[in-house]
């Protein structure tokens, strides 16, 4: 559900603008294959946290990623 939004909006819906600009820059430099690479990297970084959450909580977690204050 949430990964579809990542791909359709090229991460703009889920992440802060500064991070999206860095992602877009790399997509322009390395092509669309970078979208899959960054998606796997993000999931890998969040793996431990995601494994502790229920499915509905995971959806809510990805909805609130745009507010990066809880990630610091």
Task: Quote the pTM value.
Answer: 0.71
DSSP H/E element including 36: helix 33-45
Cα distances (Å, whole numbers) of residue 68 to 28, 29, 30: 24, 25, 26
Structural domain contains residue 40: yes
Structural domain contains residue 55: yes
Look at the chain and report how many structural domains it folds into. 1
Which pLDDT does position 58 carry in this prediction?
85
Q: Number of C-alpha atoms within 13 angstroms, CB side, residue 31?
A: 1
Structural domain contains residue 7: yes
Containing structural domain, residue 12: 2-65
**Which mean pLDDT values do the consecutive 10-residue runs of the chain (72 residues) have?**
74 82 91 88 92 87 68 45
Torsion angles phi and psi, residue 31, rounded to 5 = 95, 180
Structural domain contains residue 71: no
Q: Residue 16 belongs to a domain with what CATH number?
A: 1.10.472.80
Structural domain contains residue 72: no
Q: Kindly report the CA angle at 35 between 23 and 17, in degrees rounded to 5? A: 30
Which pLDDT does position 53 carry in this prediction?
92
Which pLDDT does position 72 carry in this prediction?
42
């Amino acid at each position: 559900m949430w990964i579809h939004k990542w791909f359709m909006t090229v991460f703009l819906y889920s992440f802060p603008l500064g991070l999206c600009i860095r992602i877009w820059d790399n997509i322009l430099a390395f092509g669309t294959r970078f979208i899959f690479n960054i998606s796997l990297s993000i999931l890998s970084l969040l793996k431990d946290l995601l494994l502790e959450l229920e499915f509905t909580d995971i959806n809510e977690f990805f909805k609130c990623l745009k507010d990066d204050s809880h990630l610091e």
